[in-house]
Structure 1
Amino acid sequence: MHRLAEFDGLFIRETTAVNHHTFYMAQKAEREGLAVIDDPNSILRCGNKVYLHTLFEQHKVPMPDGVMLFKHDEDNLVRAVDALGLPLVLKIPDGSFSRGVVKVKTLTDFKTQLTELFNQSSIILAQRYTFTEYDWRIGVLNGQAIFACKYFMARNHWQIYMHGKTKTQSGGFTTCAVNEVPVHVLQAAIKACAPIGDSLYGVDVKQDGDKVYVIEVNDNPNIDDGVEDLHLGNKLYDMIVEDFIRRIELKR
């Protein structure tokens, strides 16, 4: 961290969190005048699913119906089931890679899972469950879509990642050209990023026919060799470097 001032830019590729060295690095780099991806504001905003839900509501971003549940409220269960029905999905604010996100099918399951999640957070987001075979992941940089993937659910599971006691399984993927993505999926992804910032984001979108639902915006999206870069190859990395150069020149 003490060497940051020697550089023009900081590109964070580690999973970020607010109470984490990645956030402190981003803050310091921004104070030193570096071009930063992920910038501190993006880490703050994307790292809280409850905040994102409120932000999407304000900016009319299409998303699953949801309600906030609070630890000491006695009517949480009734309110959520009346509004959303069953099954539904419960999320802690700062979960990642499918951790801290559970699906409940029955009232008994709801009570059990809610109790466990309230041990991790005093606020839980409950959302209507929508089944899809895959989630779109749209990579957005400076307000423009730069890559697109379909992430399929893990075998016999409702999420992309299935965490076991000894190992984690994940579903397959298909990488697409951006111009192959349905227009309403791209529009929803870009709209979701606008109130967050102009950094590099990975937007998870569920498509159900003509309807789309933004699930979340990730401030530190995977860009893995042979996955997200499968269509563009090195051109994808050129685009990121060129945007860093643009940001550096703007600061100068």
Structure 2
Amino acid sequence: MLPILLTPRTVAVTRYVTPLREGGSLPALVEADDGFLYVLKFRGAGQGVKVLVAELLVGELARALGLRVPELVFCELDEAFGRTEPDEEIQDLLRASTGRNLALHFLSGASTFDPLVTTVEPALAALIVWLDCLTLNVDRTARNTNMLLWHRELWLIDHGAALYVHHTGPNWVQTATRAFPQVKDHVLLPVTTAEALAAADAAGRARLTPAVLAGIIAAIPDEWLTEPDQTPTAQRAGYQQFLEARLTVSATFTQEADHARLALV
């Protein structure tokens, strides 16, 4: 079966609006040539392009599961952009990020999700927990939920910390079946149920077919696949192998999540 191609749109930055200093990688609010505002994640930030790879892959996996994620676009940054920026730190970041970056559509007026204020249905909570177990996303805690409420709907953002094992060296793919004990800190775990987690596992495995995975992975730009001595094709194959292997142990990490849920009681 041919992959389902899901290539994001490409826009060009026309105006740097303001830095968003609450992010560790110093993302920024920018305007693009389509007239929309975006939250731009820079390729030249501290952890490099692998953060952009994780952001792209997990965001599109979430969308394939039916979860709400702001539109992801490739954002081109011209080398001349930012030469007049007075802040040296920002100027260095802009200079290091010439070329293709990643951006999320800015949800104007959105508020940060607060679990003490907003109730999430168990089925939705379980699907988000399941996605984060699949992708080893350590960054959806009460301290930093990485979820927004926009028009009374829950939206997922900021997945750069997921797939963290791809930072660990050339053999990272071999860690695919590892446990995910960090699920115990997931902000939505307390509102899931055993039945909802089992249903999320069944739905997730049904939706994330090899063809869907391949279509999402195919969208990673060659210039973001920078492992030495590995072609972009080989690196994409590594992501495919990793995610398919994670799916083969989904019952295990789903059970791990349920055990962690029970431990909270």
**TM-score (ref. length: structure 1):** 0.27
More helix per residue: 2
More strand per residue: 1
Structure with bigger RCO (C-alpha 8 Å, 6+ apart): 2
